[in-house]
């Protein structure tokens, strides 16, 4: 079985400070990892993914994520957060033998001006 844990329900940061949203996963075989963002009253939007290759993946809106196989983690990062980054963030994983993505519970990010 595959699963995702997002240990923090909420993350609060000041604008201009670094932002990190944590994600750990459990999966059989090689993981395929994804981050999505959801703004109020909108659907989930794709941010970035890790399939293979470099452990540091760059995505939309200045976000990046680092794949760490030994720690089974895929934390989302942004060097300098903006107020407009305030949203709900979901981490998701798919194993090499599964068609469906498993989503974490989500982390609400609030960036204060």
Partner 1 sequence: DAGVIQSPRHEVTEMGQEVTLRCKPISGHNSLFWYRQTMMRGLELLIYFNNNVPIDDSGMPEDRFSAKMPNASFSTLKIQPSEPRDSAVYFCASSPLGQGYGYTFGSGTRLTVV
Binds partner 1 (CB under 8 A): choice among 19, 21, 92, 111: 92
CB 76 within 8 Å of CB 20: yes
> Looking at 12-20, 61-69, 72-80, 94-102, which segment touches partner 1 (CB under 8 A)?
94-102
Q: Measuring CA to CA, which residue among 77, 108, 105 is closest to residue 4? A: 105
Closest distance between partner 1 and the C-beta of residue 33, in Å? 10
Sign of CA dihedral 65, 66, 68, 73: negative
First to last CA, the chain: 41
> Looking at 12-20, 64-72, 77-85, 103-111, which segment touches partner 1 (CB under 8 A)?
103-111
64 contacts partner 1 (rule: CB under 8 A): no
Binds partner 1 (CB under 8 A): choice among 7, 16, 18, 42: 42
Binds partner 1 (CB under 8 A): choice among 65, 94, 109, 111: 94
103 contacts partner 1 (rule: CB under 8 A): yes
Question: What one-character DSSP code corresponds to residue 27?
Answer: -
At 43, phi and psi to the nearest 5?
-80, 175
């Amino acid at each position: 079985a595959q699963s995702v844990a997002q240990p923090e329900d909420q993350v609060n940061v000041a604008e201009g400070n670094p932002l990190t949203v944590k994600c750990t996963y459990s999966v059989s075989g090689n993981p395929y990892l994804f981050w999505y963002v959801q703004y109020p009253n909108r659907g989930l939007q794709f941010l970035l993914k890790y399939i293979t290759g470099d452990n540091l993946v760059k995505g939309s809106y200045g976000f990046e994520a680092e794949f760490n196989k030994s720690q089974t983690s895929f934390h989302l990062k942004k060097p300098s957060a903006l107020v407009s980054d305030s949203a709900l963030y979901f981490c998701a994983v798919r194993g090499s033998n599964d068609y469906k993505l498993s989503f974490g519970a989500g982390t609400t990010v609030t960036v204060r001006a």
